Amino acid sequence: MEIMLTINNQKRRLLIEPDEYLLDTLRKAGIKSVKRGCDTTSCGMCSISVDNKLVNSCSYYSIRAVGKEILTVEGIPEEAGLIADFITAEGAEQCGFCSPGLVMAIHSMKHDLDDFSMENIKHYLAGNSCRCSGYEGQHRAILKYLEVK
């Protein structure tokens, strides 16, 4: 079926299977920042924002996104670049596969939280897993980034 999606402020006409998930639709549409890390909505590597809400695109039906604002890392180049500067300054990205999802989670967190205590930050990001870094580097980077913002 054909649907119209708004991806990173651009209207895109796309051909999808009826029960397709956004992760697949986005990747087919050339949005390669969105990664598949699991089959069970567990890893957070496909995190994107839909209408300002952080969601796992692997389990979000594409037709549900019609009429909504879909945002991926490609849609926030400046903010993503700045977050990337802080993460890479710590070397905390290592393999980088989970990083775009983490950037989207940080983007949403900034929108959603008022109190950026370490406990709150960790709780908010608990669904974004990383196997390389041991998380400590990410946390150092995020604290520094939030200080600047």
Interactions with another protein, residue window 105-144 (CB under 8 A): 105, 108-109, 112, 122-139
Residues contacting 59, CB < 8 A, separation 6+: 21, 41
Phi-psi region of 114 (alpha: psi -120 to 50; beta: other; left: phi over 0): alpha
Minimal distance, residue 26 CB to another protein, in Å: 11
Q: Which element (helix H / strand E) includes 50? A: strand 47-50
- Shortest Cβ 91–another protein spacing (Å): 4
Least spacing, CB of residue 22 vs another protein, in Å:
11
Cα dist from 70 to 23, 49, 92, 140, whole Å: 11, 6, 27, 29
* Site for another protein, residues 59 to 88, rule: CB under 8 A: 59-61, 63-64, 72-74, 77, 80-81, 83-85, 87-88
Binders in 14-43 for another protein, by CB under 8 A: 17-19, 21, 27, 32-43
- Both tokens of 36, joined, read 């598949």
Pick from 7, 54, 70, 71 the residue near another protein by CB under 8 A.
Answer: 54
